Amino acid sequence: MLEARNIAKSYASAEGPAPVLHDVSLTLEQGEFLAVVGRSGSGKSTLLNILCTLLAPDQGQVLYAGRDVTRLPEAELAALRRRDFAVVFQMHHLLPYLTALENVLLPFMTGLAPAPRDAVERARRCLDRVGLAGKHRRLPGRLSGGEQQRVAIARALVKEAAILFADEPTGSLDPATGREIVGLLQDLNADGLSVVMVTHDLGYASCAHRVLRMENGAPACAA
């Protein structure tokens, strides 16, 4: 479904290019739950950003549905992110001036046409599913950290994407709420959604079908 081939990435620094990833290859099958673990600076978030097309690699390819998405023009990349990929971040990144429902509907508010009625209904159902029934009209400031992350997950669910990318989704949550969120991701995966989750917590990673351990910008071993 998704394949990364020989990915390399460097960031510019005062001392010249600092390699972050070198020669990383991986595959994600349909319906698979892949956890990427590693210490801070191991390159796991950079890898996730490259996989979900937010970042272009210096070398290598990311193939999705047989197409190299690293070379797509900007408009096609935007369409891919809007349609097929969903991303959940450590910081839930909700727009503070939109209600929970409006935040979930953001993927459908990209143009002047109003969000379709069925999308609004689906957004309500997604919020209900992540346990936020009755809180649709609340602004993010009136939700707890865990609830905000649930809104972010509902936002990823609403567009019925093919792959959910989660970058440290439990990083800013207490352990109990973190477990709930990972449980939610497991439920979604059980329904057929492919998931790539970056985490530094091996406990959460154990819920995945497969774990990719990153060390110094390259896979250390697969479990």
- Asked whether position 106 contacts other proteins by CB under 8 A, the answer is yes
Q: How far is the CB of 150 from other proteins (least distance, A)?
A: 16
Among 43, 44, 60, 81, binds other proteins (CB under 8 A): 81
Q: Considering only the stretches 26-34, 49-57, 59-67, 193-201, report the one whose residues sit in contact with other proteins under the rule CB under 8 A.
A: 49-57
Q: How far is the CB of 49 from other proteins (least distance, A)?
A: 4
Q: Considering only the stretches 57-65, 104-112, 124-132, 204-212, report the one whose residues sit in contact with other proteins under the rule CB under 8 A.
A: 104-112
- Asked whether position 194 contacts other proteins by CB under 8 A, the answer is no
Q: Considering only the stretches 33-41, 70-78, 169-177, 206-214, report the one whose residues sit in contact with other proteins under the rule CB under 8 A.
A: 70-78
Contact 146, 177 (CB under 8 A): yes
* Cα distance between residue 44 and residue 111, in whole Å: 33
In degrees rounded to 5, what are phi and psi of residue 206? -65, -15
Q: How far is the CB of 176 from other proteins (least distance, A)?
A: 25
Binding residues vs other proteins (CB under 8 A): 45, 49, 52, 54-55, 74-75, 78-83, 87, 89, 91, 93, 95-98, 102, 105-115, 120, 155
